[in-house]
Amino acid sequence: MVKFVLLFGPQAVGKMTVGHELSKVTGLTLFHNHMTIDLLEPFFDFSTEMWRLSTLFREEIFNSFSKSDRYGMIFTFVWAFNEKEDWDSVEKICHTFSSHGADIYFVELEADVEERLKRNKTQHRLEHKPTKRNIEQSEQNLLSTMESLRLNSNDGEIKKKNYLKINNTGLSAKEVGRMIKEEFQL
């Protein structure tokens, strides 16, 4: 049975880095959100068309993977809790996996903004996310979205069976990966 881990939180909270560590210790395949964004951005910039194609591409990957005999997938996502469209997107992704019998796990990361601003500049992040290499623009986006989007859930808002929220401000990605593995016995 395929396992699907939705790893979410605000920008630069460490989703991809934790995803890499979780992948190492579990054998789950990491699909971080920038794999489609960075693929399409050179052709379409950050246009509506880029987001539309990214969504279609992801849906095809989710559909095919959910039917496979692979162990499972980790998908990273920035979830805007004050946007119905994001709730709908999460439901659609989860339905794709659950309709094929997958076990679904929700892992939310949160960290202080000062820590996120530091992480925004790490070599690991910049190596794997070309569209984040303009640090000034990336920092501006990180800070400005805090004014209009709520990128962490409120207490009790997520009512899923397999849900874990971790404040990883002072934790390494390796520690967080182990915590997730142990909590869900992956």
Name residue 25's amino acid: V
CA distance 2 to 162: 15
CA distance 130 to 171: 25
- Which residues make Cβ contacts (< 8 Å) with residue 56, sequence separation at least 6? none
CA of 141: how far to CAs of 5, 25, 126, 146, in Å? 26, 32, 15, 9
Domain ranges of the chain: 3-184
Tokens of 117: 């601003």
CATH node for 3-184: 3.40.50.300
Strand partners, 3: 72, 103
DSSP state of 70: S
Per the document, the length of the chain is: 186
CA distance 10 to 13: 6
Pairing of strands 163-167, 103-110: parallel
Q: Residue 42's pLDDT is what?
A: 79
CA distance 59 to 72: 16
Tokens of 11: 């920008």
Q: Residue 26's pLDDT is what?
A: 98
In degrees rounded to 5, what are phi and psi of residue 51?
A: -65, -40
Q: Residue 36's pLDDT is what?
A: 85
Contact 54, 36 (CB under 8 A): yes
pLDDT tens, residue order, the chain (186 aa): 899 999 999 999 999 999 999 999 999 999 988 878 888 877 888 788 878 888 999 999 999 999 999 999 999 999 999 999 999 999 999 999 999 999 999 999 999 999 999 988 878 776 777 767 778 888 898 899 999 999 999 999 999 999 999 999 999 999 999 999 999 999
